Amino acid sequence: MHHNIVFDYFRPIYIFFIIILTILLINTIFKKNRFKLVNGFVIISISFICLLVSIYLTYLAGILTDELSVAGDPFSFFMFIIIVLVSIINFVAYFYKKPA
């Protein structure tokens, strides 16, 4: 059995987080918030939760890689880096675009 298939199950979670964080970033930058449902608390909370869960998944992938004695999944790691960057950009964009 090919053990690298285990890491393929993490990819949809990373992709989902990237999509959610990108939607939040677009909402923050272009102020498409017509219903006032997405405020600063929601943006910061969702970004923080996505970041924490992706950190845990990446840590878990490292443990699985070590235990199964297989190579890691570089694509998942790159998606993790994207999540970290977009989360940081969300924080910065919210505080930069915050109305005075």
pLDDT, tens only, 77-100 = 899 999 999 999 998 888 887 654
What confidence score (pLDDT) does residue 100 get?
A: 47
6 versus 29: the higher-pLDDT residue is 29
100 versus 17: the higher-pLDDT residue is 17
Q: For the chain, give the secondary structure using H, E and C.
A: CCCCHHHHCCHHHHHHHHHHHHHHHHHHHHCCCCCCCCCHHHHHHHHHHHHHHHHHHHHHHHHHHHHHCCCCCHHHHHHHHHHHHHHHHHHHHHHHHCCC
Statement: residue 13 has pLDDT above 80: yes
What confidence score (pLDDT) does residue 42 get?
A: 85
